[in-house]
């Protein structure tokens, strides 16, 4: 149920030194206060693009939930409930209820930009590899905006009024945001709102469509998806159990098994170690009363709408969601027919050299102008293995893709090794010639000066060889798309 009437007006009650809620991370007195009337203020906040709002959200996460630092997202952090409440109060203005989500997503549309829309499991535990791999050939990646919107939920779920109940989810999405921070700040990853959150009629229609599909037996959770969700549920339950006070935790364990007093210090040391190394751990959850959890994957109707508006192809790591996408592939933008199944197959390639889960590789290929080259290579590879959306042939296609990538990587590695071997051989010959020439010159009367001149000639020759190596490597990188996975030094 929408709660527009229960949410305070923009900037109502803000003090001069409080952070302004327009998303600019400035003090209210130096930001929006001079504009005075609410209409002008609302125009200021509604003028932001989704790229800007995504960056504002990331900055808000860092400001409110990581004390303004660029803290390692894998490190544990303690956040007080009032910080969470302030964060959501601020976020409600960064993503205001009067935002036009249709126009905002449509503004991202660019026929010359390959855009993917992630509709898979939004957990930090799984999303990074999907994003890292797609960023090797897609220009932009859209992700559903993960945080609660205070104005869009019922009062008992309001994160401003009940921050403790959403702390576990908030920590989860905060870690996700910090993991994706480099991609977000570069404009490569963009949060997109769910249009149904802003339009009750659209939400009702989406729910009705979902009920029809369920009645028709079209909503099925495959065993592999169920197994995965059960594993996550067990991890979440274990995480919540670890938030219990030490004495309660030991008492609970003693109800299940016989524990000797001498074993308790070791058990507690292990528990503290587990708490410390878990980036999603939030203390005190078990004693905080009600806890809410939001794991919302866009429905097929929401997927179709957002992809059509933003000219994006959907990609997922959920088998059941892929079946839905495949069923509606003809209603999606043309890019989906190639890039949705290709991305699915690529994400399932178990090759060590593909496991690069940071931004350096994605940024490098963009800086060197090699994004289009690798994208063309992937498209050609897909055609060569007769890639399609046919579910029956997918296992074979995925295996063929892995085999081709492995072969191309081996070929590129071999050529790279030969180039460096030739360079190393030339340097060794230069060094030997230099030494012999130096000794000969010294014996004919030039002495130390002759050796020095000869050594200088060797250095100049080495520099020339290095220049030749750089030129050869540049040509190699230009003609070999798989070279992006090699550690090439000019």
- pLDDT of the residue at 177: 92
- pLDDT of the residue at 401: 93
- pLDDT of the residue at 101: 92
* Segment among 116-125, 171-180, 461-470 with least mean pLDDT: 461-470
Q: Residue range 245-249: average pLDDT?
A: 82
CA–CA dist 476, 411 (Å, integer) = 12
Q: Where are the domains of the chain?
A: 397-485
* Segment among 245-259, 280-294, 298-312, 452-466 with least mean pLDDT: 452-466
User: On the CB side of 311, how many CA atoms lie within 13 Å of its CA?
Assistant: 11
Q: What is the DSSP secondary-structure string of 435-446?
A: HHHHHHHIIIII
Q: Residue range 45-66: average pLDDT?
A: 89
- Among 440, 470, 443, residue whose Cα is nearest residue 457: 440
Q: Residue range 426-433: average pLDDT?
A: 56
Q: What tens digit of pLDDT does each residue of 446-462 get?
A: 444 444 444 444 444 45
- The proportion of the chain whose per-residue pLDDT surpasses 70, expressed as a percent, equals 78
- pLDDT of the residue at 370: 86
Q: What tens digit of pLDDT does each residue of 352-409 get?
A: 888 766 677 788 888 888 888 899 999 999 999 998 888 888 889 999 999 999 999 9
Q: C-alpha dihedral over 143, 148, 150, 151, to 10 degrees?
A: 40
- pLDDT of the residue at 45: 72
Res 414 pLDDT > 70: yes
- pLDDT of the residue at 488: 45
CA–CA dist 116, 142 (Å, integer) = 6
Res 338 pLDDT > 90: yes
**HEC readout, 204-258:** HHHHHHHHHHHHCCCCCCCHHHHHHHHHHHHHHHHHHHCCCCHHHHHHHHHHHCC
Higher-pLDDT residue of 132 and 467 is 132
- Among 430, 435, 418, 436, residue whose Cα is nearest residue 464: 430
- pLDDT of the residue at 307: 96
Q: Residue range 288-299: average pLDDT?
A: 68
Higher-pLDDT residue of 12 and 259 is 259
CA–CA dist 336, 411 (Å, integer) = 30
- pLDDT of the residue at 433: 52
CA–CA dist 217, 224 (Å, integer) = 18
pLDDT band at 293 (very low <50, low <70, confident <90, very high): low
Higher-pLDDT residue of 9 and 211 is 211
Which range scores top for mean pLDDT: 24-28, 151-155, 397-401, 478-482? 397-401
Maximum Cα–Cα distance for the chain, whole Å?
Answer: 100
* DSSP for residue 298: P
Query: How do strand 115-118 and strand 313-315 relate by DSSP bridges?
Result: parallel
CA–CA dist 355, 391 (Å, integer) = 25
Res 12 pLDDT > 60: no
- pLDDT of the residue at 98: 81
Helices (H) and strands (E) in the chain, counts: 18, 4
Q: Residue range 208-229: average pLDDT?
A: 83
- pLDDT of the residue at 142: 96
Q: What tens digit of pLDDT does each residue of 60-119 get?
A: 998 888 876 555 555 555 678 888 988 998 888 888 888 899 999 999 999 899 999 999
- pLDDT of the residue at 3: 42
- pLDDT of the residue at 261: 84
Q: Across all residues in the chain, what is the average pLDDT?
A: 80
* DSSP for residue 329: G
**pTM given for the model:** 0.81
pLDDT band at 140 (very low <50, low <70, confident <90, very high): very high
């Amino acid at each position: 149920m929408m709660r527009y009437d229960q949410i305070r007006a923009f900037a109502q009650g803000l003090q001069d030194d409080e952070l302004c809620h327009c998303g600019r991370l400035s003090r209210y007195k130096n930001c929006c206060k001079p504009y005075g009337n609410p209409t002008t203020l609302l125009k200021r906040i509604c003028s932001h693009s989704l790229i800007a709002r995504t960056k504002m959200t990331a900055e808000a996460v860092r400001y409110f939930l990581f004390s303004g630092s660029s803290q390692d997202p894998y490190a544990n952090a303690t956040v007080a409930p009032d910080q969470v409440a302030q964060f959501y109060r601020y976020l409600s203005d960064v993503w205001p209820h009067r935002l036009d989500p249709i126009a905002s997503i449509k503004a991202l549309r660019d026929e010359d930009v390959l855009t993917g829309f992630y509709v898979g499991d939004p957990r930090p535990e799984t999303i990074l590899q999907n994003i890292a791999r797609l960023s090797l050939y897609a220009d932009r990646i859209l992700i559903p905006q993960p945080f609660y919107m205070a104005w869009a939920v019922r009062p008992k779920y309001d994160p401003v009024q009940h921050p403790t109940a959403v702390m576990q989810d908030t920590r989860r999405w905060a870690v996700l945001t910090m993991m994706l921070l480099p991609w977000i700040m570069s404009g490569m990853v963009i949060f997109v709102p769910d249009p149904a959150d802003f339009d009750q009629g659209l939400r009702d229609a989406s729910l009705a469509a979902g009920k029809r599909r369920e009645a028709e037996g079209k909503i099925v959770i495959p065993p592999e998806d169920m197994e995965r969700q059960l594993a996550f549920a067990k991890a979440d339950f274990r995480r919540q159990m670890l938030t219990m006070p030490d004495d309660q935790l030991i008492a609970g364990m003693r109800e299940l098994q016989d524990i000797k007093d001498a074993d308790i210090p070791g058990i507690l040391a292990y528990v503290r170690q587990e708490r410390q190394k878990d980036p999603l751990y939030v203390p005190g959850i078990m004693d905080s009363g009600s806890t809410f959890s939001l794991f919302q994957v866009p429905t097929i109707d929401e997927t179709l709408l957002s992809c059509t508006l933003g000219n994006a192809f959907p990609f997922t790591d959920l088998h059941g969601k892929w079946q839905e996408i495949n069923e509606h592939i003809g209603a999606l933008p043309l890019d989906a027919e190639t890039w949705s199944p290709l991305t699915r197959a690529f994400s399932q390639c178990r090759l060590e050299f593909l496991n690069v889960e940071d931004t350096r590789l994605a940024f490098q290929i963009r800086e060197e102008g090699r994004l289009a080259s690798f994208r063309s290579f992937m498209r050609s590879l897909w055609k060569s293995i007769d890639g399609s959306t046919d579910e029956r042939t997918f296992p074979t296609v995925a295996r063929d893709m892995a085999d081709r990538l492995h072969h191309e990587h081996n070929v590129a590695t071999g050529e790279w090794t030969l180039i460096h071997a030739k360079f190393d051989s030339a340097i060794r010959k230069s060094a030997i010639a230099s030494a012999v020439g130096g000794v000969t010159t010294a014996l004919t009367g030039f002495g130390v000066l002759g050796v020095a001149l000869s050594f200088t000639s060797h250095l100049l020759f080495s520099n020339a060889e290095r220049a030749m190596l750089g030129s050869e490597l540049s040509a190699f990188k230009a003609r070999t798309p798989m070279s992006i996975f090699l550690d090439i030094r000019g």
